[in-house]
Amino acid sequence: MARQPLHPQAQRIRTIIWSVPLMVGSGYILYRRFVLGEEQRKFGDGTSKSKTGLGATAQPEGGPTKPSEN
């Protein structure tokens, strides 16, 4: 069954409903970056090729830790 084409006014409304949230979200992210000075998010360091994209060798900021010796 073929769909009937939308009326031109309905197409405009559909486009507005689709595009306004996209513009608001993008604008908010750009506002945080340019006005508030927040750093751009980066995903991984580009050296790891894991399926999850999180990196198999992710370590805390301080680097690897040694077991404590008592």
Specify if 16 maps to a domain: yes
Query: What is the domain range of residue 15?
Result: 8-38
Residue-wise pLDDT tens digits, 14-47: 999 999 999 999 999 999 999 999 998 888 876 6
Specify if 69 maps to a domain: no
Res. 7: pLDDT tops 80:
yes
33 Cβ contact partners less than 8 Å away, ≥ 6 residues apart: 39, 40
Specify if 25 maps to a domain: yes
| pTM for the structure as a whole | 0.51
Q: How many CB atoms lie within 10 A of CB 32?
A: 13
Res. 53: pLDDT tops 90:
no
Specify if 14 maps to a domain: yes
Distance of CA 33 to the CA centre of its chain: 13
> How many domains does the chain divide into?
1
Specify if 60 maps to a domain: no
